[in-house]
Amino acid sequence: MNEDTTFDRDARQEQTPLWQALVGITALLALVAAVVLAGTQIYPSQLPTTKNPSFVDNIFDSRVVILLIRVALIFAAGYVVISVVGLVVERRWLAQLGPFKASEPIARVERGAETLDTDLDDARETIEGLQQRLLEGDNALAQARLGIEFLADRIDRLQSRQEEKP
């Protein structure tokens, strides 16, 4: 096997599912649209002025700075949305909130489910064993009834012969 076929197989195995690619492309297009909107619509036409501007007022006195801050906020919001979607898909969203860990109760529930599955399997084995024993008992009972009927017939025949002899 040459390296090209190995690469193709590895590339196929590592491909992103279609729905994830579509979500990513949609999010990317939304971000691009937001940037275009930021460039055309949110560019500040007028800025408030103060009589005694401070250092921060002087920084934010430029329309370009305000535009770049708005664009950065749009990208930050997009990053947060994409990150949340990615974490939810990977089941890592809110794994820990302060001193509370969501993974511990989930692990306990999973352990409980595994224990219940084991108990259920044991119960099924017990039920199968009891059903087998019941079937064997029914067969033994049927054989005993046949034996009893045979012996009862034999006893009846012997008694009838004894009554005929005297």
Domain boundaries along the sequence of the chain? 1-93, 96-166
In the predicted model, what is the mean pLDDT of the chain? Answer: 79
Q: How confident is residue 139, by pLDDT bands cut at 50, 70 and 90?
A: very high
Between the CA of residue 28 and those of 31, 51, 125, 135, what are the distances in Å?
Answer: 5, 42, 55, 67
Write phi, then psi, for 92 (nearest 5 degrees). Answer: -115, 5
Q: pLDDT digits over 14-53, tens only?
A: 666 787 778 878 888 887 887 777 667 666 666 667 777 7
Tell me which of 109 and 50 has the higher pLDDT.
Answer: 109
Between the CA of residue 124 and those of 34, 106, 120, 140, what are the distances in Å?
Answer: 60, 26, 6, 24
- The rounded percent of the chain whose pLDDT value lies above 70 is 75
The length of the chain in residues reads 166
Helices marked H in 42-102: 55-59, 63-89
What pLDDT is attached to residue 68? 83
pTM assigned to the model? 0.38
Asked if residue 96 lies in contact with residue 103, where contact means CB atoms within 8 angstroms, the answer is yes
Helix (H) or strand (E) holding 26: helix 18-40
Beta-bridge mates of residue 96: 101
What pLDDT is attached to residue 118? 94
